[in-house]
């Protein structure tokens, strides 16, 4: 089992959700987060004073899939949907999971995520 975390631009939320729905990824968790990377934020003037905004709003997706094949399809869908070609497009991380338990039924492993 593989956990995929993707951090993308806020405006790409619907595009990524649609791409995941199209490949029939069933379970996702979505968070509103803030962070910075290469993009380093930006400066703006507020009431005449310059303010540096270093933490930018982003969207974080968490998805658990059962196989490497599903992980590759999911990562490709996210990558294609979130791409703009500009700094700040985001990152995708994948991790091997040791165990998963569905609380309601007690199912474990891939049975718990299918």
User: Mind listing the pLDDT tens digit for each residue in 63-96?
Assistant: 999 999 999 999 999 999 999 999 889 999 999 9
Opening angle at CA 31, ends 62 and 14, nearest 5 = 85
Q: Alpha-carbon distance 85 to 9, whole Å? A: 12
Per-residue confidence (pLDDT) for residue 109, from 0 to 100: 92
The Cα diameter of the chain in Å comes to: 58
Per-residue confidence (pLDDT) for residue 56, from 0 to 100: 86
Among 71, 55, 53, which residue's Cα sits nearest to residue 63? 71
Q: Alpha-carbon distance 32 to 30, whole Å? A: 7
Among 38, 37, 33, which residue's Cα sits nearest to residue 61? 33
Note the CATH number of domain 2-32+60-113: 3.30.70.120
pTM score? 0.86
User: Mind listing the pLDDT tens digit for each residue in 9-62?
Assistant: 999 999 999 999 999 998 999 999 998 877 676 677 778 877 777 788 999 999
Q: What is the CA radius of gyration of the chain?
A: 17
């Amino acid at each position: 089992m593989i956990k995929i975390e993707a951090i993308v631009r806020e405006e790409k939320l619907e595009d990524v959700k649609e791409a995941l729905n199209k490949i029939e990824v069933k379970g996702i968790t979505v968070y509103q987060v803030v962070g910075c990377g290469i993009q380093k934020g930006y400066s703006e003037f507020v009431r005449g004073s310059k303010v540096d905004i270093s933490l930018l709003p982003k969207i974080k997706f968490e998805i658990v899939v059962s196989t490497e094949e599903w992980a590759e399809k999911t990562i490709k869908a996210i990558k294609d949907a979130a791409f703009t070609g500009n700094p700040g497009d985001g990152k995708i991380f994948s991790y091997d999971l040791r165990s998963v338990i569905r609380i309601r039924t007690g199912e474990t492993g891939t049975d718990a995520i299918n």
